[in-house]
């Protein structure tokens, strides 16, 4: 957890929403200078803080509407701090809650050097990262449709499909004939129509994102592709979710951000359980787990390593250990600008 500890003359805490935002500005002594609820637009914000622009810093909680305010502060030369939502919830929880109280608490945390920082993703790659996340969301929807077709066959006690999978258009020619009931056929026809739409749109989207990645950081993309089993999507997710590996001073912090370590709760020398499992980047965790799976395919040395890990840690934990090992390798690859060294990876 990183705290923002710089001292300023004015501190502005904002409870930010989609249409309105509540401002609370404090001075260095903690006196309340401005409590105001305003519309979410640049002109209203700049007008509200105009009298306090001298050494002003603004803090908001990380939610989906912070992009425009961060970019506005950068253009206006105003300091901006993005508060980590989960950490802030634990710190400033209280009995009563409303916009005015929340804004005041954010400003107080900012002034006291106790606001946990989130990462302000730079605008140059931000939109492409969101586009890639949208692509992954749509791909999961496509997978749900395919799973629904298989589940429908099981629901009506029909034979399983011969190919077992209907991912490709060539495997879907006789799918509707598999269901004798006309209403069931209509349901499956809807699934197939949606799948065809996804099949037409997603490849174009993937080609566009790959072209963007080569413009943003071609070297890092090539380095990530050097890992066995790293197809075109996994390196893209890792690249855009990390953005700059230099923001992690240590590999341990990178593994924690990728949700590949299990934090413990300890008191008086006794471990009382685990917590913080949802703090970190869920997309990066998915990418490294997926990479650990594809890394084992047609890779005899990796399969031997996996067998050793299963004997030592058990079947369930072996894959998570392999994912963390791959994440560690990725950290040093990007930090040093080196391709994947298989000999060193299996030797460690």
Q: What is the pLDDT of residue 174?
A: 85
pLDDT tens for 113-143 read: 999 999 999 999 999 999 999 999 999 999 9
CA triple 302-305-307, angle to 5 deg = 110
Q: E-assigned strands of the chain?
A: 3-4, 10-16, 20-27, 32-39, 56-61, 79-83, 115-116, 264-267, 270-274
Alpha-carbon torsion angle 203, 209, 214, 217, nearest 10: -140
CB atoms within 10 A of CB 161: 16
CB atoms within 10 A of CB 261: 17
CB atoms within 10 A of CB 5: 10
Q: What is the pLDDT of residue 278?
A: 77
pLDDT tens for 216-253 read: 999 999 999 999 999 889 999 999 999 999 999 999 99
The span from the CA of 108 to the CA of 95, in Å, is 17
Low-confidence ranges of the chain (pLDDT < 70): 90-94, 163-164, 276, 348
pTM of the model: 0.90
Residue pair 72/45 in contact by the 8 Å Cβ criterion: yes
Pairing assessment for the beta strands 79-83 and 115-116 based on DSSP bridges = unpaired
Q: What is the pLDDT of residue 273?
A: 72
Nearest to 119 by CA among 16, 11, 240: 240
CATH 3.40.190.10 is right for the domain spanning 3-116: no
The span from the CA of 5 to the CA of 234, in Å, is 36
Q: What is the pLDDT of residue 264?
A: 77
């Amino acid at each position: 957890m990183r705290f923002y500890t710089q001292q300023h003359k004015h501190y502005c805490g904002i409870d930010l929403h989609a249409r309105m935002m509540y401002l609370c500005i404090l001075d260095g002594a903690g006196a309340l200078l401005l409590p105001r609820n305003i519309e979410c637009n640049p002109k209203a914000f700049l007008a509200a803080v105009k009298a306090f622009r001298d050494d002003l810093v603004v803090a908001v909680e990380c939610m989906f509407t912070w992009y425009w305010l961060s970019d506005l502060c950068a253009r206006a030369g105003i300091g901006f701090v993005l508060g980590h939502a989960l950490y802030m919830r634990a710190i400033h929880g209280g009995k009563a809650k409303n916009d005015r109280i929340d804004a005041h608490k954010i400003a107080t945390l900012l002034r006291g050097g106790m606001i946990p920082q989130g990462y302000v993703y730079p605008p140059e790659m931000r939109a492409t990262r969101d586009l890639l996340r949208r692509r992954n969301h749509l791909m999961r929807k496509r997978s749900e449709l395919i799973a629904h077709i298989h589940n429908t066959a099981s629901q009506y006690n029909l034979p399983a499909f011969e190919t077992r999978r209907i991912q490709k258009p060539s495997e879907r020619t006789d799918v509707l004939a598999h269901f004798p009931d006309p209403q069931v056929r209509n349901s499956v026809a809807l699934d197939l129509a949606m799948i065809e739409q996804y099949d037409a749109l997603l490849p174009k989207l993937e080609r566009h994102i790959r072209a963007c990645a080569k413009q943003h950081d071609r070297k890092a993309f090539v380095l990530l592709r050097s890992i066995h089993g790293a197809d075109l999507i996994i390196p893209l997710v890792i690249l855009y979710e990390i953005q700059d590996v230099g923001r992690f001073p240590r590999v341990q912090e990178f593994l924690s951000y990728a949700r590949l370590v299990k934090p413990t709760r300890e008191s008086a020398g006794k471990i009382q359980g685990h917590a913080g499992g949802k703090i970190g980047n869920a997309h990066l965790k998915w990418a490294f787990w997926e990479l650990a799976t594809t890394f084992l395919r047609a890779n005899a040395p990796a399969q031997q390593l996996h067998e050793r890990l299963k004997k030592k840690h058990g079947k369930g934990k072996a894959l998570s250990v392999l994912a963390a090992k791959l994440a560690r390798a990725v950290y040093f690859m990007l930090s040093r600008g080196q391709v994947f060294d298989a000999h060193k990876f299996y030797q460690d």
